[in-house]
A = this chain, B = another copy of it.
């Protein structure tokens, strides 16, 4: 692609960010939501792997850089008012969540309580070794 016109279609918030939903391209499961700035989205497209903006660390975050659980991006969509991005991804290791679960959405509301429904597939101590 020759220019960045497509980036201007996005309604970046005042802080320069847009939320990005990562959905498992195979299962359809929503894996996580993170944030992107222009640079993160541009790098995601260029590299074919999800790059987010870490609000806590205030820097670009190539998902999986520590854990190895990278996300191969198969498709990128934008919603009608341009303020949410949706990625279809192949989730490396089948683990998106830092808790070692497949998806970050492992708490389900049941009769007024949040119940953890998903198994920890890998101990976070083994994922993050430093």
Closest approach, in angstroms, between the C-beta of A96 and any C-beta of chain B?
Answer: 10
How far, in angstroms, from A121 to B113 measured CA to CA in the complex?
38
A6 touches B112 (CB 8 A): yes
Interface size on A, residues (CB 8 A): 39
* B residues near A32, Cβ cutoff 8 Å: 79
B112 touches A2 (CB 8 A): yes
**A94 on the B face (CB < 8 A):** no
Residue among A1, A98, A99, A107 with most chain B CB within 10 A? A107
**A80 on the B face (CB < 8 A):** yes
The proximity string for A residues 1-41 relative to B, scoring 1 for CB distances below 8 Å and 0 otherwise, is 11101100100000000010101000111101100000000
